[in-house]
Amino acid sequence: MIEADRELSTMVQDIWDKDVNRLKPGTDYRISLQGKAGPVNADMNDEMSDDNDGAGYPLFSFVDERIFKKESFLAFISLLDNYESDTGEPEIVTPEEEAENHKFLDCMLRTPTMKIAHKYLVEKQLSPEGLPEFKMQLYRIWFELYARRGASKPDSSGFEHVFVGETRGGRTVIGFHNWIQLYLQEKLGHIDYKGYSVNANSPQPDENKHILALQFSWKNGIKPKGSIFVGVSPEFEFALYTLCFLVSPNERVKVFFSIYEVDIVCHHYNQKHIGTTYPVLVKYQNEPKKQ
């Protein structure tokens, strides 16, 4: 492993250890993996048949929603209804929505995970030391609007794409890599979980692990294969993805933490904004022995 990955892995492990709001699988939430999702027609013009659906029930069978009353979860959830999902539809940010964006960032900056990330980024001269300046950097990376391919006006942002999800052409779901949004949309009946995704080189998914590759439909579109952290806090993902975006010029960086070896895919959009970011589980490392 190259030194940069080793150093970044140390930071990610520290962030993982400080994620005090992470949920415990089997206790705070339960998921039902069911079967493997089937292949999706490449042209997306045909409806998926029942043969493709490896799951007859929702992914989430239980979530202790008391966690959603915590400050960071409340601030995160308040942003999920601020966007037009269709790419090509210009985004209009109201004063109320802008205030919610700032409230969310203020909340993130108070968390232990973001404090660790900020300290490291300052040491690497990648972020300003002052909190107001760092907050402006975060706003530009995550919330400043930009025009996606084929759009004439700003229609997307890093936050919308990664955490909320978008639709392209009414048939394809892009982005959408957050378990809270997935759970809430599934609860509303807008998500149809199709099963887990696995290939010859990926480890078998586990209902008690925090990373899952899956397939689902949303708003008449299909996400052929997505990958998400499950049960982690908003501040963990926000700190991790910000770190990977600013530290690595590459679009894929390998990190080791807890029992996971993970590739973090992080696309840079115009070198200023996050395009899409998500975890890809490479393998499970040796699990620590229970005391």
User: End-to-end CA distance of the chain, in Å?
Assistant: 29
How far is Cα of residue 200 from the mean position of the Cα atoms in its chain? 24
Q: At what angle do helices 234-247 and 112-123 cross, to 10 degrees?
A: 10
The CA-CA-CA angle for residues 29, 242, 145, to 5°, reads: 100
Given the residues 118, 194, 210, 223, the one annotated as active site: 223
Q: Does residue 102 have an active-site annotation?
A: no
Given the residues 18, 118, 161, 254, the one annotated as active site: 161
Q: Are 266 and 244 in contact (CB under 8 A)?
A: yes
With H, G, I as helix, E, B as strand and everything else as coil, classify residue 79: coil
**Residue 76, token pair as written in the block:** 């995160």
With H, G, I as helix, E, B as strand and everything else as coil, classify residue 221: strand
With H, G, I as helix, E, B as strand and everything else as coil, classify residue 114: helix
Q: Does residue 223 have an active-site annotation?
A: yes
Given the residues 18, 177, 209, 254, the one annotated as active site: 177
Q: Which of 62, 41, 43, 42 is nearest to 52 (CA)?
A: 41
Q: Does residue 209 have an active-site annotation?
A: no
d(C-alpha 91, C-alpha 117), whole Å: 29
Question: H-helix or E-strand containing 166?
Answer: strand 166-168
Torsion of CA 206, 209, 211, 215, to 10 degrees: 30
Q: Are 78 and 159 in contact (CB under 8 A)?
A: no
Would you name the residues annotated as active-site residues? Answer: 161, 177, 223
